[in-house]
Chains A and B, each alone.
Chain A
């Protein structure tokens, strides 16, 4: 049995098409041993294989190349906000089918059951290092976190809430782009969210984007690129056009680091690349320089 067969679950989780390059120096399961699926993680950037438990204990970061892998909204929330401080906003918005795309409702229901969320973004109010902030987390497990009506509406409302209550916004972006199944309505969400950001901006409030894997398409071309400060996680994919579309146009293969966080930093489109482990103190430092008041009461660290 080829070792590749063991990784189906893992590969499904990270669909990037990079090929394995070097063998890892890390502790690595030996081939030929029958290991149940899902027990291993194979890094889509460098091909390193590690035990999933070790990998998840390491905040889902590849120990070999520092690629910050995709994580679900709950895990993200737990590692970001002060324990017990999160209150969700607009949890009851439900997806409909504006262009009557065949099978759309069924697909949404299936994802709601498997991901345990209603849609591809969760928004709410929380404390980070005792700074009160509005937070939004996109979850790429849900239809690649594409933006349809519900995603657009929740993000818009999150900014409107923050504008009204004079709060900063921290958005963790991840998306394959506009939700094509909703037709033109999904395209209009780009304008709608950008409008809400314009008002939050005019009200003098802070917006921090944290770009996670992958931030692409219509989300890159709207709210993800509009942060006052744009942070990216190491080695994640950030871009506008799909890699294959560009390769098809230029008829040649693109370098591996094309559209990476590092590529975006080099070209001037992100402010900094920040490790998951130091994100909370980084956000705290940013809040401090923007005249937000820190709550008195000590609430301890992150939930996780």
Chain B
């Protein structure tokens, strides 16, 4: 494991061109993968890829945010910024997983939900809200893994889960450090200062109880050895999936509720 990097150094690492994406991880982690398309209402959003496959001998549903490995891929997947139909596709596949008692694996990697006219018209807020509520009571295990960027509500819509894992250098935040600096200090150039202040690294989130597990990256970051990174993810899933599957459903839902219920910093009286 690397010596602790600063949040700014990690920010640079996760923006590294060769950082593996779900297109690298899905073939490495799942066999017999079948991609499924569409939200059954409006269309198919390429920013979220979903499907069913085998993790070893266990059938699973995979829902993943798609960062491109180059400009062409990024244009196709809208730089991993989903529209409402992407979140509705995710919910459809999660409900399908519930029907067949398949664990759901969400791979989170997004700067945030897309901000645009069409996204507003089709109810970006409603789509995210619906996922938060529905995932909270989904009667099948949900594991979310933040691979790189976990940006705001657009990430949270795939992260209401029984267990949240983060790659060692991944970041998860309420807004990008740049946005934070621009809004609170009216100075986007203080991005790095914001990144350090915001407490957005995997270690920070472990302390807050937001994240349960950190998955090691190879020395130098995931891009230096995508195969090894995938093996580390696989090792985590082989332990976590059977463990979560063994929990009684009512108990699992109680624990999932409590995981989020207890997050908050305030005093009383």
Chains A and B bind each other: yes
Complex contact B184–A180 (CB within 8 A): yes
Say yes or no: is A274 at the interface (Cβ < 8 Å to chain B): no
Name the A residues within 8 Å of B113 (CB-CB): 221, 240-241
> How far apart are B196's CB and chain A's nearest CB, in angstroms?
11
- Select the stretch in A52-60, A78-86, A95-103 that faces chain B: A95-103
Say yes or no: is A258 at the interface (Cβ < 8 Å to chain B): yes
- Select the stretch in A25-33, A41-49, A244-252 that faces chain B: A244-252
Say yes or no: is A6 at the interface (Cβ < 8 Å to chain B): no
Residue in A180, A187, A189, A221 whose beta carbon sits within 8 Å of that of B124 in the complex: A221
Say yes or no: is B186 at the interface (Cβ < 8 Å to chain A): no
Q: A225-B126, A240-B125 are in contact. Are A191 and B160 (CB under 8 A)?
A: yes
Best-buried of A220, A226, A259 by chain B (most CB within 10 Å): A220
- Select the stretch in A9-17, A147-155, A288-296 that faces chain B: A147-155
Number of interface residues of A (CB under 8 A): 60
Name the A residues within 8 Å of B257 (CB-CB): 195, 199
Chain A interface, >50% SS class: helix
Complex contact B132–A222 (CB within 8 A): yes
Residue in A99, A192, A222 whose beta carbon sits within 8 Å of that of B261 in the complex: A192
> How far apart are B260's CB and chain A's nearest CB, in angstroms?
5
Q: A191-B136, A194-B132, A249-B116 are in contact. Are A99 and B260 (CB under 8 A)?
A: no
Interfacial residues of chain B within 113-127, with CB under 8 A of chain A in the complex: 113, 115-117, 119-126
Interface string of A142-167 (1 = CB under 8 A from B): 00000001101100100000000000
Residue in B129, B198, B261 whose beta carbon sits within 8 Å of that of A223 in the complex: B129
> How far apart are A221's CB and chain B's nearest CB, in angstroms?
4
Complex contact A195–B261 (CB within 8 A): yes
Interfacial residues of chain B within 4-27, with CB under 8 A of chain A in the complex: none
Complex contact A241–B119 (CB within 8 A): yes
Which residue of chain B lies nearest to A179 when distances are taken between CB atoms in the complex? B174
> How far apart are B86's CB and chain A's nearest CB, in angstroms?
14
Complex contact B133–A249 (CB within 8 A): no
Say yes or no: is B267 at the interface (Cβ < 8 Å to chain A): yes
Residue in A92, A182, A183, A254 whose beta carbon sits within 8 Å of that of B269 in the complex: A92
Name the B residues within 8 Å of A150 (CB-CB): 264, 266
The distance in angstroms between the C-alpha atoms of A99 and B210, with both chains bound, is 14
Say yes or no: is A39 at the interface (Cβ < 8 Å to chain B): no
Complex contact A250–B199 (CB within 8 A): no
Say yes or no: is B172 at the interface (Cβ < 8 Å to chain A): yes
The distance in angstroms between the C-alpha atoms of A220 and B125, with both chains bound, is 5
Number of interface residues of B (CB under 8 A): 51
Complex contact B124–A182 (CB within 8 A): no
Name the A residues within 8 Å of B115 (CB-CB): 240-242, 245-246, 249
Name the B residues within 8 Å of A194 (CB-CB): 129, 132-133, 136, 160
Complex contact B263–A185 (CB within 8 A): yes
> How far apart are A154's CB and chain B's nearest CB, in angstroms?
9
Complex contact A189–B264 (CB within 8 A): yes
Say yes or no: is B165 at the interface (Cβ < 8 Å to chain A): no
The distance in angstroms between the C-alpha atoms of A99 and B261, with both chains bound, is 19
Best-buried of B125, B136, B180 by chain A (most CB within 10 Å): B125
Say yes or no: is B34 at the interface (Cβ < 8 Å to chain A): no
Complex contact B266–A96 (CB within 8 A): yes
Which residue of chain B lies nearest to A199 when distances are taken between CB atoms in the complex? B257
Interface string of B250-269 (1 = CB under 8 A from A): 00000001001101111111
Name the A residues within 8 Å of B208 (CB-CB): 98, 184-185
Residue in A149, A199, A226, A241 whose beta carbon sits within 8 Å of that of B129 in the complex: A226
Say yes or no: is A197 at the interface (Cβ < 8 Å to chain B): yes
Name the B residues within 8 Å of A153 (CB-CB): 264, 266
Best-buried of A190, A223, A224, A267 by chain B (most CB within 10 Å): A190
Complex contact A239–B265 (CB within 8 A): no
The distance in angstroms between the C-alpha atoms of A191 and B123, with both chains bound, is 18
Say yes or no: is B175 at the interface (Cβ < 8 Å to chain A): yes
Interfacial residues of chain A within 186-214, with CB under 8 A of chain B in the complex: 186-192, 194-199, 201-202
Top 10 A-B pairs, shortest CB-CB distance: A220-B125, A241-B115, A194-B132, A240-B125, A98-B265, A225-B129, A149-B264, A221-B128, A240-B124, A187-B174
A residues with CB within 8 A of B: 92-101, 149-150, 152-153, 156, 178, 180-192, 194-199, 201-202, 217-218, 220-226, 239-242, 245-246, 249-250, 254, 258-259, 267-269
Further contacts, 9 of them, CB under 8 A, given A101-B184, A152-B264, A259-B120: A92-B269, A99-B199, A180-B174, A183-B198, A188-B156, A195-B160, A198-B133, A249-B115, A250-B117
